[in-house]
A and B are shown apart, each in its own frame.
Chain A
Amino acid sequence: MKYRIIHSTRYRYALSVSNCYNLAYVLPRYTEKQRIDSIEVKVSPLATTRNMRTDYFGNQFLQFSIEKDHTELDVSITSEITIKDTAININLDFGNPCTYVKYLLKHSKDWETLCAREFMLDSPMVQQHPDLAEYAAASFPDDRPFLSAVMELTQRIFTDFIYDPEFSDVATPLADVLKYKRGVCQDFAHFAIGCLRSLGYPARYVSGYLETLPAPGQEKLIGADATHAWFAVYSPGEGWYEFDPTNNKITGEQHITTAWGRDYSDVAPLKGVIFGGGHSPQLFVSVDVRRIEDDFIPTQSQSQSQN
């Protein structure tokens, strides 16, 4: 499947910003199933320095600085990618059972497993906790195939938790997410990662986009999509598998990956430092994911504001 993704982020400041230094994790990443066909980056006003970089986790990010007065910042990425048709119906019931996965994690000396141990540790936004382990434990009996257990955890989060954009921001603590059983995709991904790490399994955070399809008979609006997040787990010898607790599924052709890391803080879409700008800058984000085969019909652009 081929997609064109337009992701634009706009900041409007109360006062003039004299200079800014930023990192943006908004470029699609090369993965086993995802190929980048083209990327076009627009930064407005014109960036003074701008570099594409590969980070520690292998993600591509954009570094840029703007060193003249400005009151608006616009970062717009247009990329075209191809996602391989992967067998979506992986049979989760044939695979290493949980105990064996744990055994391998402890004793295996292959590089991939050693690296995966990094994702078993606490990270800035996800700390292990007995409550998380307790929540997840029921799905992970020793002899159950590990991936099937993770699918069940995914499903339970989908069932037990309510998607509620009003409830959280990026810094909502996991304890609150568990207590109120509410959140958005980042929270559910963090929560699942916290559960898995608390049980001693490696899990990482994946950020990207999800293609949303309009209801039958309706036209798809540009910008109706959003950035999305899910998680991946590692089973030694079997590799990394991605699950989407917000939608109760293993990721498929509609999941487009931008970056992964220990948690959100490693791959925040845009971060940086500004000089000046006053208080409470306004943020507008719009994401449009579109199949390239589709006819492109320009319509009124809509944005969602995330103050």
Chain B
Amino acid sequence: MNPYSTLMENPVDPANIKDFIYPAPQLGVDEAYDSEGRIRPHWRYLLHSLQSLGHDAIEERQKKTRRILRDDGATYKIYDEPDANQSWQLNPIPLLINSDEWNQIETSLVERAELFNLLLQDIYGERKLVRQGIIPPDLLFSHHGFLRPCQNIKLQGSHQLILHGADLVRAPDGSMQVMADRTQAPSGAGYALENRTVMNRVFPSLFRDSHVHRLSLFFSRLRQRLHELNPNGGIARIVVLTPGIYNEAYFEHAYLANYLGFQLVQGSDLSVRNGYVWMKALDGLKRVDVILRRVDDIYCDPVELKGDSRLGVPGLLEVARLGHVAIANPLGSSVLENPALLRYLPEISQALLGRDLQMPSVKTWWCGNSDDLEYVCKNLKHLLIKPTYRRPGLYEVYGADLDDKKLQAWQNRIRKNPLQFVAQEYVVGAQTPTWHQGLIQPRASVLRTFAVASESSYSVMPGGLTRVNLDVDKKIISNQRGSVSKDTWVLASEPEKQISLRPLDTQPAAESSNALPSRVVENLFWMGRYAERAESAMRLLRTVFIQLNKTEKLPDAVCRTLLSAITHVTATYPGFTSLHTALLKNPEPEMISIILDQQRLGSVANNLMAMVHSAEQVKEQLSSDTQRVINDIGDELEQLKIALEPDALSAPEEALAPLITTLLAFAGLIHESMTRGSGWHFMEMGRRLERALQIVNTLRSLLVTSFDEVEQETLIESSLLCGEALIPYRRRYQNGIRIDQGLEMIMLNSKNPRSLIYQLTQLEHHFADLPDNRDEFSTEHKLLLEATTALKLSDIKTLAKTANGIRGELDQLLSRLQYLIGTAAKAIGQRYFDHAEGPQLLVKNSEWQDHL
């Protein structure tokens, strides 16, 4: 039965709902209750539906929400708490806004974006507002976001400000007010989209029947506008410039890049050549026409802006000046984030628009004005203190949270540097129904909205990113302080028509979107290598555990050979190659350290973490299923730590199985769901090269020294076990385990996907498919050819031959192969990956650069 029609037939009993949520508040505004304590009409359907679901079911949906976000890899880093849970937090109860109110909000936000656009043009142009005495000169000149080198740089088209974000809060009288503007690189739109996607999945019918305005139109307008900004003609190559994986919102950067179909790049992926910006791709430089910037403007160009920045592109500003690249938002736009501007906004609006703004800003005082300064110092206890320029570590403070001593300290700080601070009236914000500890509770909320320049004006995302504090004692709502987010539902009065986006998207997709930055390809290559390296190590460790735990005790020499193989294969020297007999008597602690010790180079955990790290770097290239498997690897590793506790140790080989399975799932996903572009080739090449090297290493460690027949059998069996070839071997050879047959199976059997020859053959295919393959074979190709030939020409009988307790021929061949394959891997790195040294400043001015 359709729940919406049920509702229509059975009008909700509001009293009933009140019991289900919380009683109407005595004080303050509430999103769900009107001033008379009645449930607002647009909330009734949602609350009724939640009530019919019941508490347990809502809690279940909350859990599902967490799971989906985690699987999507949705993270948000809190800088002050590096160890905190970094998952993006979404509360299952959305904020609802009815269409009448939204129409007003939308009009006001368009107006505000228009105003800020004109303001930006004036600041980097004629500065009429300063000239006319509307903006105090000190307000502008003392702001660190006022970037003088950006004077007179213009984007083409009617708007300079492409994206505008605003934080809205509901004042006690019920009206919306703007608390802050975001113009640098407004973040949150991607999180809002992710929230919507998750809500859609968790509450499919509730969502469908609520007639919620869709977000997708906003993003296609953004895409369209970025294409229109292309200064170079033709089909634009658009990139999203991210500071990288250590940025708090990296997830969003990758998510947006994928959703919009743009390449995600870091500063080092770009280079300025001949007055244009280029992306360093595998097969050469690709011109970049438009940059959607998520790096703070001051970090974007060490030549003209912050000299010690490693996140930017040297020379970028000059390219913007030449008009050869469009950057959105333009460099210098952080000047608009100065909250002191709010103090003068009514006059600015009169001067630039000729009218008052429809939506006021929260009352703000700027300490650079002497009257304001006195007022602020007197009333600090009731005000929100904000720096005029946001930077990490300098956050806003609420006076009421400070004791007298701290208040005095703040007063001194402000008086010493009055230009750098504003104070704002503290607006609690409206309470909104929020899921917390199994109940619906009222929590104050702030709404981040987004507008994008579109046609001749702006278009506003219908919705946005709502944030609440679950902890009622926390007064300031900010993601950096652990606030949680909510989806924002703008309810249409009637079911929204499906708008086809085709007419807007006139631009065809960029032609060679398969051109990846070489950094991405390098990370994929190493992901393949690390995954394989961890897997080989685990297979060997598992085999050795099995052999050691056999009922009959192994002879010492065999034992030593097996254990030394672990050290050789994982390169965790000296380990078992040292002559400590104690280690051989009680090998488990060392083996467990080789598995779990993340700090130890070569350990399984170390390789897995390196793999996860590489995955993070190429997040946008991985499917959500792959993302989930990568998450699982982290979890399995944690599980393994518990399973391998010394006291609880039993059947350790069993404990490794889930992790190996997860790695196989990873390999399977790559094989089944990754498009066969250069990224896939390189990941596979990494895997094949590594596996070949590990086979060679294992064989060299286990089979070069010759033993008595029985002992030999254990070692051959171990080699076969490592390569999952024992059962096929037994099927094929019914005459017991023999060295020549074992070598044939592991090295030359082309049907065995874990044989050495199989890896080399696969590599051959990949090499053939690489870009820019000239008639002459490349270095790595020649090396591979030599390795393959040497292997094919070898004679098993000769290899098996023993002299002086050693298989000399085998050792020679393996050592040659090790060299050839290892050198081929290096040659690939040399040829395809970026080896440019990082930039350095021509003149190093250590001290004052920090102040710029």
Residues from chain A with Cβ under 8 Å of B137 in the complex: 114-115, 117-118
Interface contact A273-B151, CB-CB below 8 Å: no
Digitize A90-120: 1 where CB-to-B-CB distance is under 8 Å, 0 elsewhere: 0000000000000000000101001101101
Minimal beta-carbon separation of A261 from chain B (angstroms): 9
Residues from chain A with Cβ under 8 Å of B838 in the complex: 275
Within 8 A of B (CB), among A123-169: 124-125, 127
Interface contact A67-B302, CB-CB below 8 Å: no
Residues from chain A with Cβ under 8 Å of B676 in the complex: none
Minimal beta-carbon separation of A272 from chain B (angstroms): 4
Residues from chain A with Cβ under 8 Å of B845 in the complex: 170-171, 265, 268
Interface contact B843-A270, CB-CB below 8 Å: yes
Minimal beta-carbon separation of B392 from chain A (angstroms): 19
Residues from chain A with Cβ under 8 Å of B149 in the complex: 55-56
Interface contact A11-B842, CB-CB below 8 Å: yes
Minimal beta-carbon separation of A93 from chain B (angstroms): 30
Interface contact A275-B848, CB-CB below 8 Å: no
User: Is B596's beta carbon under 8 Å from chain A?
Assistant: no
User: Is B8's beta carbon under 8 Å from chain A?
Assistant: no
Interface contact A275-B839, CB-CB below 8 Å: yes
Minimal beta-carbon separation of A153 from chain B (angstroms): 23
Residues from chain A with Cβ under 8 Å of B315 in the complex: 21, 65, 273
Interface contact B840-A277, CB-CB below 8 Å: yes
Q: Which of A49, A173, A265 contacts B275 (CB 8 A)?
A: A49
User: Is A51's beta carbon under 8 Å from chain B?
Assistant: yes
Known contacts A118-B137, A118-B141; decide if A275 and B837 are in contact (CB<8 Å).
yes
Minimal beta-carbon separation of A58 from chain B (angstroms): 10
Interface contact A273-B836, CB-CB below 8 Å: no
User: Is B437's beta carbon under 8 Å from chain A?
Assistant: no
Which partner residue on chain A sits nearest B319 by CB separation? A49
User: Is A282's beta carbon under 8 Å from chain B?
Assistant: no
User: Is B26's beta carbon under 8 Å from chain A?
Assistant: no
Residues from chain B with Cβ under 8 Å of A266 in the complex: 148
Known contacts A49-B275, A111-B131, A271-B842; decide if A125 and B148 are in contact (CB<8 Å).
no
- Complex CA distance for A120 and B847, rounded to whole angstroms: 21
Interface contact A273-B302, CB-CB below 8 Å: yes
Known contacts A117-B137, A170-B845; decide if A22 and B274 are in contact (CB<8 Å).
no
Within 8 A of A (CB), among B593-616: none
- Complex CA distance for A277 and B838, rounded to whole angstroms: 11
Residues from chain B with Cβ under 8 Å of A117 in the complex: 137-138, 141
Minimal beta-carbon separation of A296 from chain B (angstroms): 32
Known contacts A115-B137, A170-B845, A271-B842; decide if A125 and B851 are in contact (CB<8 Å).
yes
User: Is B586's beta carbon under 8 Å from chain A?
Assistant: no
Interface contact B318-A20, CB-CB below 8 Å: no
Considering residues B130, B302, B839, which has the most beta carbons from chain A within 10 angstroms of its beta carbon? B839
The secondary structure that dominates the A interface is mixed
- Complex CA distance for A213 and B142, rounded to whole angstroms: 41
Interface contact A171-B847, CB-CB below 8 Å: yes
- Complex CA distance for A277 and B142, rounded to whole angstroms: 36
Considering residues A49, A122, A125, A173, which has the most beta carbons from chain B within 10 angstroms of its beta carbon? A49
Minimal beta-carbon separation of A115 from chain B (angstroms): 7
- Complex CA distance for A124 and B306, rounded to whole angstroms: 11
User: Is B314's beta carbon under 8 Å from chain A?
Assistant: yes
Known contacts A49-B275, A114-B130, A121-B419; decide if A22 and B318 are in contact (CB<8 Å).
no
- Complex CA distance for A257 and B566, rounded to whole angstroms: 72
Interface contact A56-B141, CB-CB below 8 Å: no
Q: Which of B314, B836, B842, B846 contacts A270 (CB 8 A)?
A: B842
User: Is B382's beta carbon under 8 Å from chain A?
Assistant: no
- Complex CA distance for A141 and B846, rounded to whole angstroms: 37
Considering residues A11, A18, A271, A277, which has the most beta carbons from chain B within 10 angstroms of its beta carbon? A271
Known contacts A124-B851, A273-B314; decide if A67 and B274 are in contact (CB<8 Å).
yes
Minimal beta-carbon separation of B134 from chain A (angstroms): 11
User: Is B582's beta carbon under 8 Å from chain A?
Assistant: no
- Complex CA distance for A51 and B317, rounded to whole angstroms: 13
Q: Which of A21, A114, A265 contacts B303 (CB 8 A)?
A: A21
User: Is B118's beta carbon under 8 Å from chain A?
Assistant: no
Interface contact A20-B842, CB-CB below 8 Å: yes
Question: Interface size of A by Cβ–Cβ distance < 8 Å?
Answer: 44
Minimal beta-carbon separation of B461 from chain A (angstroms): 35
User: Is B304's beta carbon under 8 Å from chain A?
Assistant: yes
Interface contact A121-B142, CB-CB below 8 Å: yes
Known contacts A49-B274, A114-B133, A121-B419; decide if A22 and B851 are in contact (CB<8 Å).
no
- Complex CA distance for A139 and B307, rounded to whole angstroms: 38
Which partner residue on chain A sits nearest B850 by CB separation? A124
User: Is A1's beta carbon under 8 Å from chain B?
Assistant: no
Minimal beta-carbon separation of A252 from chain B (angstroms): 30
Which partner residue on chain A sits nearest B124 by CB separation? A56
User: Is B321's beta carbon under 8 Å from chain A?
Assistant: yes
User: Is A281's beta carbon under 8 Å from chain B?
Assistant: yes
Within 8 A of A (CB), among B826-852: 836-843, 845-849, 851-852
Known contacts A67-B273, A121-B419; decide if A274 and B847 are in contact (CB<8 Å).
no
Interface contact A268-B843, CB-CB below 8 Å: yes
- Complex CA distance for A268 and B303, rounded to whole angstroms: 12
Which partner residue on chain B sits nearest A65 by CB separation? B315
Minimal beta-carbon separation of A23 from chain B (angstroms): 7
Interface contact A121-B138, CB-CB below 8 Å: yes
Which partner residue on chain B sits nearest A126 by CB separation? B848
- Complex CA distance for A56 and B332, rounded to whole angstroms: 13
Residues from chain B with Cβ under 8 Å of A272 in the complex: 303, 314, 841-843
Within 8 A of A (CB), among B203-228: none
Residues from chain B with Cβ under 8 Å of A21 in the complex: 272, 303, 314-315, 318
Digitize B307-330: 1 where CB-to-A-CB distance is under 8 Å, 0 elsewhere: 100000011001001100000000
User: Is A53's beta carbon under 8 Å from chain B?
Assistant: yes
Known contacts A48-B274, A173-B847; decide if A274 and B318 are in contact (CB<8 Å).
no
Within 8 A of A (CB), among B146-188: 148-149, 151
- Complex CA distance for A265 and B848, rounded to whole angstroms: 8
Residues from chain B with Cβ under 8 Å of A45 in the complex: none
Interface contact A273-B841, CB-CB below 8 Å: yes
Residues from chain A with Cβ under 8 Å of B322 in the complex: 51
Which partner residue on chain B sits nearest A127 by CB separation? B851
- Complex CA distance for A260 and B275, rounded to whole angstroms: 27
Known contacts A21-B272, A55-B151; decide if A271 and B841 are in contact (CB<8 Å).
yes
- Complex CA distance for A216 and B130, rounded to whole angstroms: 53
User: Is A303's beta carbon under 8 Å from chain B?
Assistant: no
Digitize A33-69: 1 where CB-to-B-CB distance is under 8 Å, 0 elsewhere: 0000000000000001101010111000001010100
Known contacts A49-B275, A274-B839; decide if A55 and B148 are in contact (CB<8 Å).
yes
Q: Which of A19, A67, A265, A281 contacts B842 (CB 8 A)?
A: A281
Residues from chain B with Cβ under 8 Å of A173 in the complex: 847
Residues from chain B with Cβ under 8 Å of A270 in the complex: 842-843
Within 8 A of A (CB), among B125-141: 130-131, 133, 137-138, 141
Interface contact A275-B836, CB-CB below 8 Å: yes
- Complex CA distance for A23 and B322, rounded to whole angstroms: 15
- Complex CA distance for A20 and B272, rounded to whole angstroms: 10
Interface contact A109-B133, CB-CB below 8 Å: yes
Q: A265-B852, A272-B841 are in contact. List 10 more A-B contacts (CB 8 A).
A: A20-B842, A48-B274, A67-B273, A67-B274, A124-B852, A125-B851, A127-B851, A271-B303, A273-B302, A273-B841
In the A-B complex, the 9 residue pairs with the smallest Cβ-Cβ separation, listed nearest first, are A21-B315, A56-B148, A273-B314, A118-B141, A117-B137, A124-B851, A273-B839, A171-B847, A272-B842
A-B contact pairs, 27 of them (CB 8 A): A18-B837, A21-B272, A48-B274, A55-B148, A57-B148, A65-B315, A65-B318, A67-B273, A67-B274, A114-B133, A114-B137, A115-B137, A117-B138, A121-B141, A121-B419, A124-B851, A124-B852, A125-B851, A171-B846, A266-B148, A271-B303, A271-B842, A273-B302, A273-B842, A274-B842, A277-B840, A281-B842
* Chain B residues engaging chain A, CB cutoff 8 angstroms: 130-131, 133, 137-138, 141-142, 148-149, 151, 272-275, 302-304, 307, 314-315, 318, 321-322, 419, 836-843, 845-849, 851-852
